[in-house]
Amino acid sequence: MSLVPRIIAVAVLFLICTPSLDAKPAKAKALPAPTTDDCLACHSDPEATRGDGKPLGRDLGKFAASIHGQGGLACTDCHADLATAELPHGEKLARVDCATCHSDTAEKHAGSVHKAQSCTGCHGVHDILPASDPASRTAHANVPATCESCHKQPPGPAGRGKSIKDGFHVGKVLAEYGESAPVCSTCHGAHDILPPKDKRSPMHHDQVAATCGTCHSDVQETWDKSIHAQMIASGRNAATCSDCHAVHGILGTEEMPRWRVAATQECSTCHASKANTYRDTFHGKASSLGYERVATCSDCHGNHAIRPKADPASMVSAQNRVATCQKCHPGTGENFAAYDPHADPHDRERNPVLFYATMFMKALLGGTFAFFGLHTALWAPRSLKDRRARRAAHAPKQPTSGDDEGGRA
C-alpha cells in the first residue's frame, strides 16, 4: 500500500470526520466487512478521540509497513469480530487469535513456559516486522533486549552475571559476529521454551552439553570422554558445561588468566574437601590472593577432559603426573611429583607425618604462649607496682634490690 490509498484515506477522513466527532454520525448500516482503508479513516486521524478522550490514531500507521500490512492482510483478518460489527465499533474488541494462521507456532507456545504470555509481548501488535528486518523485536540482534524487557536479571544461581549483556556471548560475540553469534533463543529456543527441569528442555542438566555442543562441537567431543560426562551418561550427577561456566556471565578468552583462578570456586561447589586442602597449599594460598602464575585445579587435572586418577590417560595418573608437574616446574622428577597437593593435616591415614607434625607445632605454639602468657600476665602488675614505688620514693635506687645490693656490695 503506497501513497495513493493513503491520500484517498486522508481525503475520506476529511470528508467524514471534519464536521465534528462530538456530534455522532448517523448510525451506519451494517456494511460488508470494512476495508483497511475504512479503518484508517478514523484510526490515523491524530485528532480523533474515543469516548473517554484517548486518541484513536495510535500506532496503526505502522501497520502498513508491518509484515501483515505488507502481506495484504486486512484489519478484519485479525479482528474477525469487526468484520460484522457496526461502525463505529465499541471499545472492547475480541482477543485476536494468532493461531488462526500460526497454528503450528501457537501449539508449541501453548506447551511452553510462556503459555500465559501473549504473542504480542515479544512480537509487538500492529507493527510486527519479520525477524529478517533489523528493526524487528525478534531480529537476531534484538532478541536479548526483547527478552530483557521481562527478564531484567537472567535467572540462575546468584552472582552469575548481572545482566545478560555482561556475558561474552551477548556482550561481545554478538557485536562482532552478528547473525552467527548466540542469543537467548539460540540456547533456550523461542516459542517452545521449557523450564530447565523438563527433560525435553535444551537447558535440562542432561541436555546442556548437547546444546552448547551445537556450536562447540570440538569441546563436546573432548568432554564426552571425561569422568563428568560418563557420570551424567550413567544417570549420576556431575558437572556439565553450565556448572563451571557461569551461565549468562560467560567470559571471553582474554579473561582466561583471571577466570582460571576464579574457577576453583566452581570446582569447590562439588569438590569442597579437595578445594580446602588445595587452599592449604602454596598454590592455593597464592591464587586466593589473586596471583595468576600458580597452578589451579585445571592446571593439574585438565578442564574438559578430566579423567579419574586411576585412568592412565589422566593428567594426574602415575604415568602422567611428572609431565604434568613439568609444565610449570621444568626439570622435576618422581620425587617432586610424589608431593601430595591435597595433603590433609586432619587425615591420619592419608598423611600420618603431616598429622603428627601439625600436632607437634600446635603443642609448641600452645606451650610457648601459655608459659609466656602467664609470665607476662604476672609480670605486668608487678612491674607497674615497682614503677609506682620507685616514683613515690624519688630515689635513684630501687628499694627492693637496693637492700640486697647494699648487703652484698
Count of residues that interact with other proteins, criterion CB under 8 A: 57
- Terminal-to-terminal C-alpha distance of the chain: 126
Q: Candidates 220-228, 264-272, 274-282, 296-304: pick the segment binding other proteins (CB under 8 A).
A: 274-282
Taking the complex as a whole, the smallest distance from the CB of residue 262 to other proteins amounts, in Å, to: 13
The contact mask relative to other proteins for 281-310 (x = CB under 8 A, - = no) is xx-xxx-xxxx-x-----------------
Out of 46, 253, 331, 394, name the contact with other proteins by CB under 8 A: 331
- Within residues 107-136, the interface with other proteins by CB under 8 A covers none
Does position 384 bind other proteins by CB under 8 A?
yes
C-alpha cell at 45: 486521524
The length of the chain is 409
Out of 50, 115, 346, 387, name the contact with other proteins by CB under 8 A: 387
Q: Which residues are CB-contacts of 257 (< 8 A; sequence separation ≥ 6)?
A: 292
Does position 182 bind other proteins by CB under 8 A?
no
Does position 322 bind other proteins by CB under 8 A?
no
Does position 372 bind other proteins by CB under 8 A?
yes
CA distance 277 to 345: 9
Closest CA to 297 of 233, 244, 252: 244
Shorter beta-carbon distance to other proteins: residue 180 or 383: 383
Residue 305 — left, alpha, or beta (φ > 0 → left; ψ -120 to 50 → alpha)?
alpha
Closest CA to 278 of 240, 228, 331, 316: 316
- Other C-beta atoms closer than 10 Å to the C-beta of 3 total 7
Taking the complex as a whole, the smallest distance from the CB of residue 341 to other proteins amounts, in Å, to: 9
DSSP-derived secondary structure letter, 172: I
C-alpha cell at 195: 523450564
Contact 168, 177 (CB under 8 A): no
Taking the complex as a whole, the smallest distance from the CB of residue 283 to other proteins amounts, in Å, to: 10
Q: Candidates 103-111, 179-187, 201-209, 343-351: pick the segment binding other proteins (CB under 8 A).
A: 343-351
Which CA distances in Å does 286 have to 86, 205, 263, 266, 294?
79, 33, 15, 18, 7
Residues that bind other proteins (CB under 8 A): 279-282, 284-286, 288-291, 293, 329-333, 335-340, 343, 345, 351, 353-354, 357-358, 361-362, 364-365, 368-369, 372, 375-376, 378-380, 382-384, 386-387, 396-398, 400-401, 403-405, 408-409
